[in-house]
Amino acid sequence: MSHYLPIAGCKDQPLYAIGARFDSPDALLHAATTLRQSGYSSFECFTPYPLHGLPEAMRLKKSILSFLVLGGGVTAVLIALSMELIPSCLIYPIVVDGKPTNLSALPQYIPITVALTLMIGAITAVVGMILLGGMPRLNNPMFAWDLFAGESYRGFFLAVEANDKKFSTATVKQLLQDLGGDEITAIHQEGPEGR
């Protein structure tokens, strides 16, 4: 069996992954499930639309983004209430129009608390999503593969990354062929001068 694979990217740079294109979403789901059952953990699937069941097939862990947003929301509530209650109830307790200066006045502070909670929660969600997604990254080595760069809007692609502990070029190539992948390509990092 020949280990020859077409090369994308700069062949002088380190190998990033071995990629394959699949004809249908079901074939990609089957390939992801089989790879995971075979012990591979560093692989990515690329689809033109969200594919039901793919995160389960890849056994992706739950993101910590929801916990970050919860933390941002709780922090916002604490900041808003302390900024409103401490001056109004402790430092400068001034009675205006018969409003109480103790915790029974809490309902009047709800609008500001809700607004600050929504704002800080939204900012936390956006910044967390950007940072957890690995951005800002100017380029992904997958774009060195002309087939992926040109047909990613309508294809189903899978890339087994070279940093996986079970990675072997010949084994991964044979496994992807057995799973029905075609256009199997060795994807290298791009050099500093580009392709």
pLDDT band at 193 (very low <50, low <70, confident <90, very high): low
Residue 118: which domain range? 65-132
Task: Assess whether 98 and 125 both reside in one domain.
Answer: yes
Is the CB of residue 20 less than 8 Å from the CB of residue 183? Answer: yes
What per-residue confidence (pLDDT) applies to 72?
A: 95
Whether residue 194 has pLDDT greater than 60 = no
Give domain status of residue 2, yes or no.
no
Q: What is the pLDDT of residue 158?
A: 85
**Residue 12 in this model has a pLDDT that exceeds 60:** yes
173 within some domain: yes
The number of distinct structural domains making up the chain is 2
Query: Do 82 and 127 lie in a common domain?
Result: yes
**Which segment of 74-78, 106-110, 122-126 scores lowest on mean pLDDT?**
106-110
Question: Which band of pLDDT confidence, cut at 50, 70 and 90, is reported for residue 98?
Answer: confident
Give me the phi and psi of 42, to 5 degrees please. -105, 80
20 and 72 co-located in one domain:
no
Q: Is the pLDDT of residue 191 over 70?
A: no
- What integer best gives the mean pLDDT of the chain? 81
Same-domain status, 23 and 70 = no
Tens digits of per-residue pLDDT, 36-78?
888 888 888 888 888 787 777 787 788 899 999 999 999 999 9
Tokens of 178: 């057995």
Is 98 part of any domain? yes
Spatial strand order of the sheet with 7-8 comes to: 7-8, 182-188, 15-22, 156-161, 43-46
Distance, CA of 63 to CA of 55 (rounded, Å): 11
Give the 3-state secondary structure percentages of the chain, helix then strand then coil, rounded to 5.
50, 15, 35
Q: What are φ and ψ of residue 40, in 5° steps?
A: -80, 140
- Please report whether residue 18 resides in a domain: yes
Q: Does position 1 have pLDDT exceeding 50, yes or no? A: no
Asked if residue 114 and residue 81 are part of one domain, the reply reads: yes
Q: Could you say which DSSP state residue 61 is in? A: P
Q: How far is CA 148 from CA 45, 74, 75, 155, 174, in A?
A: 12, 42, 43, 8, 20
Task: Tell whether 97 and 47 lie within a shared domain.
Answer: no
48 and 78 fall within a common domain: no
Cis peptide before 136 (omega within 30 of 0): yes
93 and 147 belong to one structural domain? no
Query: Is 99 a domain residue?
Result: yes
Instruction: Give pLDDT, residue 153.
Output: 65
Residues 126, 102, single domain; the answer is: yes
